[in-house]
């Protein structure tokens, strides 16, 4: 089954983005001067090029031969307006935290600020060092195509080491990392997630007042919130289901996900922490690499927006990107067996790399009882990998349930839920008819 964004909300966001992008282009000279002022340099600045991301636009600016920086703005219309400044502040603090507490190569932040301080009020910004390198995903695909498994191993070992470092960072609440007045790193604010941003920007009339107001101190409470967020999503997105049968399948999947919480997260299992930073986009697409002294080295890890401390088990999952495809998108088109055929050999290769990274850490710091390798393997074999993936991604929760977690007989619901499902299916078809009529009136093309 396939779910999609609300095309009406998406079109509105694209129109806002287009108008904002024109404003950025018109302000190029002002932006260059602004960055030079923030860097306190007398060397004239030169705009080099744009680097486009999914949620941000980056301007590369050169000052003389040596100093090259990026100024990064979140894209209007893609990032919900209510989250712009919260998103940037959270990312800045996490980059600063990683630079202080780990050896993960992240760009140095030179300056940052809010919309009121930005050129032409373009939005909150981050100025950071530009790092020369090639996108690791492109390199990794070529290595795999060439069957250069030794260098794939080298890439995996570096990423495994980074994941191992992150797995040791423990907090007592779920949310973004910040610094308190004493300079200590802590978590007190609500988690801001990619899913929240998407609900606020590409679902018409999602009740944003129901988003969290504070950090969570219980894994169970957070997961129940996420399950409820998915149920509200089903209620309000008018084109989430394209038939009554689709609506019923979404209803079953989202209720079953809520019921699966205690199977994968028993109340006695680290419910009050530790909580560990988790970045869904921690993947080769957001890493830069280059050859140094004949060896392929990752030189930058980028894009830490929407990072929060999360239930520790998220950090104990094997990487979802190992097959170089999105699991949710693949399951929409193919069978689980097709995904596993691609994923499992790479999983075994990555677990060998993780075991090697752990052996190095143990040799230098003394042996620990904790094994990330064994936890990752257990996550895969227990299907917790799939539960965690689905609970994070509201547009994939349905296909993940039916492809990976459904067992025969699970589709049977209690009498009260059966009645509610019938009403929801009827409501979804009424919503869909109204949505399609509005799309036609606006001349917006739809996909079924």
| Token duo for residue 238 | 């008018």
Q: Decide: 151 and 143 in contact? Cβ < 8 Å.
A: yes
Query: In 3D, which of 103, 378, 401, 446 has the Cα closest to residue 252?
Result: 401
Q: Residue 44: its pLDDT value, please?
A: 94
- Residue-wise pLDDT for 98-113, tens only, equals 999 999 999 999 999 9
Burial of 223 (0-12, 13-18, 19+ CB in 10 A): buried
CATH architecture assignment, domain 1-130: 2-Layer Sandwich (3.30)
Q: What are phi and psi of 434, to 5 degrees?
A: -65, -40
Q: Residue 367: its pLDDT value, please?
A: 57
Say whether pLDDT at 448 is over 70: no
- Residue 411 pLDDT grade (very low, low, confident, very high; cuts 50, 70, 90): confident
- Residue-wise pLDDT for 294-350, tens only, equals 899 999 999 999 999 999 999 999 999 999 999 999 999 999 999 999 999 999 999
CA–CA dist 226, 269 (Å, integer): 18
Q: Residue 438: its pLDDT value, please?
A: 96
| Token duo for residue 430 | 């009424």
pTM across the whole model: 0.95
- Which residues on neighbouring strands pair with residue 290, listed in sequence order? 297
| Token duo for residue 383 | 């299907």
Q: Decide: 45 and 130 in contact? Cβ < 8 Å.
A: no
CA–CA dist 149, 96 (Å, integer): 34
CA–CA dist 436, 239 (Å, integer): 8
Query: In 3D, which of 351, 407, 405, 411 has the Cα closest to residue 382?
Result: 405
- Residue-wise pLDDT for 347-396, tens only, equals 999 999 999 999 998 766 655 667 999 999 999 999 999 999 999 999 99
Query: In 3D, which of 155, 24, 130, 146 has the Cα closest to residue 77?
Result: 24
Q: Residue 173: its pLDDT value, please?
A: 98
């Amino acid at each position: 089954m396939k779910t999609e964004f609300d095309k009406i909300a998406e079109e509105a966001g694209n129109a806002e983005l287009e108008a904002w992008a024109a404003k950025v282009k018109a302000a190029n000279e002002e932006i260059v001067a602004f960055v030079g002022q923030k860097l306190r340099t007398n060397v004239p600045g030169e705009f080099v090029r744009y680097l486009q991301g999914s949620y941000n636009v980056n301007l590369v600016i050169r000052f003389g031969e040596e100093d090259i920086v990026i100024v990064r703005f979140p894209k209007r219309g893609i990032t919900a307006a209510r989250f712009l400044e919260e998103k940037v502040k959270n990312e800045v603090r996490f980059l600063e935290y990683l630079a202080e507490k780990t050896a993960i190569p992240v760009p140095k932040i030179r300056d940052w600020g809010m919309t009121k301080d930005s050129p032409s009020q373009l939005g909150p910004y981050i100025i950071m060092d530009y790092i020369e390198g090639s996108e690791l995903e492109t390199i990794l695909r070529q290595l795999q195509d060439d069957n250069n498994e030794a260098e794939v191993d080298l890439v995996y070992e570096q990423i495994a080491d980074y994941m191992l470092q992150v797995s040791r960072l423990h907090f007592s609440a779920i949310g973004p990392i910040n610094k308190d007045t004493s300079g200590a790193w802590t978590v007190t604010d609500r988690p801001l997630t990619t899913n929240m941003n998407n609900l606020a920007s590409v679902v018409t009339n999602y009740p944003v007042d129901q988003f969290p107001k504070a950090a969570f101190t219980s894994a169970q409470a957070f997961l129940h919130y996420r399950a409820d967020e998915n149920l509200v999503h089903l209620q309000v997105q008018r084109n989430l289901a394209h038939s009554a049968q689709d609506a019923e399948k979404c209803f079953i999947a989202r209720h079953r996900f809520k019921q699966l919480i205690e199977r994968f997260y028993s109340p006695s299992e680290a419910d009050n922490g530790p909580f560990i930073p988790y970045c869904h986009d921690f993947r080769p697409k957001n890493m830069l690499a280059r050859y140094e002294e004949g060896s392929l080295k990752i030189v930058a890890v980028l894009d830490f927006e929407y990072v929060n401390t999360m239930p520790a088990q998220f950090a104990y999952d094997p990487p979802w990107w190992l097959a170089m495809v999105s699991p949710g998108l693949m399951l929409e088109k193919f069978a689980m067996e097709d995904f596993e055929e691609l994923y499992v050999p790479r999983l075994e290769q990555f677990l060998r790399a993780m075991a090697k990274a752990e052996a190095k850490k143990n040799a230098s710091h003394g042996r620990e009882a904790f094994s990330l390798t064994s936890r990752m393997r257990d996550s895969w074999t227990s299907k917790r990998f799939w539960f965690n993936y689905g609970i994070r991604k509201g547009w994939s929760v349905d296909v993940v349930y039916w492809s990976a977690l459904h067992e025969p007989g699970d589709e049977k619901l209690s009498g009260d839920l059966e009645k509610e499902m019938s009403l929801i299916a009827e409501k979804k078809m009424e919503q869909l008819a109204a949505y399609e009529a509005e799309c036609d009136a606006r001349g917006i093309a739809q996909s079924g």
